[in-house]
Amino acid sequence: MKTLFQILCITFFSLSVSAQSTTPPDPPAPPSSSSNGSSSVSTSKSDNSLRFKAKWSNKSRYDILKNYLLDQLGEDGLTVSGNTYKWSKESNAFNCKLTSKTMNLFLDYNEASRSLKQQVDDMMDNLKYAAGNGKPEDKVKRAQKEIEKHELKYRKAVIEIERAKKELERAKRELERKELLKERKEKFKKEYKEQKDKKEGKSNNFEQRREALEKRNIERKMAFKERKEALEQRREEIIKERKVRKKEILEKRKELLKERKEEIEKEKEKSI
Asked whether residue 25 carries a pLDDT value surpassing 50, the answer given is no
Reported for 71-76, long-range contacts at CB under 8 A and 24+ positions apart, including other chains, are 72/119, 72/123
* pLDDT score, position 22: 43
For residue 16, which phi and psi values (nearest 5 degrees)? -65, -45
Beta-ladder partners of 108: 49
Q: Exposed, middle or buried by CB within 10 Å (0-12, 13-18, 19+), for 39?
A: middle
* pLDDT score, position 35: 45
The number of angstroms, rounded, from the C-alpha of 268 to the middle of its chain's C-alpha atoms is 99
Domains and CATH numbers, the chain: 39-133 (3.30.1360)
Cβ atoms of residues 37 and 134 within 8 Å: no
Q: Where are the alpha helices (DSSP H) in the chain?
A: 2-21, 59-73, 114-131, 136-271
The number of angstroms, rounded, from the C-alpha of 125 to the middle of its chain's C-alpha atoms is 35
Looking at the chain, the whole-number percentage of residues with pLDDT higher than 90 is 33
Cβ atoms of residues 77 and 89 within 8 Å: yes
Looking at this protein, which amino acid is placed at residue 50? L
DSSP state for residue 231 in the 8-state scheme = H
* pLDDT score, position 4: 45
| 38: three-class secondary structure by DSSP | coil
Q: Lowest-confidence range among 3-12, 51-60, 94-103, 128-137?
A: 3-12
* pLDDT score, position 258: 87
Binning pLDDT at 50, 70 and 90, where does residue 32 land? very low
* pLDDT score, position 30: 40
Longest dimension (CA), the chain: 150
- Over residues 156-194, the pLDDT tens digits come to 898 989 889 888 888 988 899 899 888 888 888 888 888
Binning pLDDT at 50, 70 and 90, where does residue 151 land? confident
| 47: three-class secondary structure by DSSP | coil
Q: How many C-beta atoms surround the C-beta of residue 136 within 10 A? A: 16
* pLDDT score, position 265: 85
| 90: three-class secondary structure by DSSP | coil
The model's pTM: 0.40
Rounded CA separation 226/229 (Å): 5
Q: Which residue has the higher pLDDT, 202 or 103?
A: 103
Cβ atoms of residues 86 and 96 within 8 Å: yes
Looking at the chain, the whole-number percentage of residues with pLDDT higher than 70 is 79
Q: Which residue has the higher pLDDT, 136 or 187?
A: 187
